[in-house]
Amino acid sequence: MARLRVNFFDWVLAGAEGEELVRRIMAHVRRFRLAEVESDVLKILYESLIDRDECHGLGEYYTPDWLAAKIVKTAVSTPLEQRVLDPACGSGTFLFHAIRKFLREAEEVGQVRDLRASEVCAHVAGMDVHPVAVIIARVTYLLAMAPALAARKGALSIPVYLGDSMQLSISQLMAGKELVIRAAAAASG
């Protein structure tokens, strides 16, 4: 008997409205020419799926692509050496621009093509508290990596995590160690 692989993000399909949510996402995604992406195009999708009051209640505010690109250009001076973490990545706007900057630099210095995808995954990471944001940011991450995906060797693990970055040890996350989240045992009563 085949075992069904289930992960945390399967919750979308478990609910009565899950299938409809996936249909809405697909309807929005079909509007985009994904092969020609030059910015965080899924930001529009994320903004249309999540209630504005819920977003603001979570402290979410959207950064325009032009501003994210300018901040990354200023803050990330040596992309092949620096590590970038967006601790509240939303749909992945900062991740997109950090990845593209890494890949441009790798191209300029002649980094081996089949290493670029795995190297960018070791240098650029994101985290968010909203499960839908994490799903969309992971897709944005892949879209940003498009120039490096065809030449990659082996599997990739996209470093966009569900969690509250204010509660985790970011130094462990960015040091390349496995992210381990420990929860206190519930008191029996």
Entry pTM: 0.67
Torsion over CA of 172, 173, 176 and 182, rounded to 10 degrees?
70
> Which of 35-39, 44-48, 69-73, 134-138 has the largest mean confidence?
69-73
Model confidence at 135: pLDDT above 80: yes
Alpha helices (H) in the chain, listed in sequence order:
11-14, 18-29, 42-49, 52-57, 65-75, 93-109, 116-123, 131-144, 146-149, 170-174
List the one residue out of 176, 107, 159, 178 whose CA is nearest residue 115. Answer: 107
What are the boundaries of each domain within the chain? 19-166
pLDDT in tens, 148-178: 887 888 788 899 998 887 776 655 555 555 4
Separation in Å, CA 136 to CA 79, 127, 187: 23, 12, 36
**DSSP assignment, residue 182?**
-
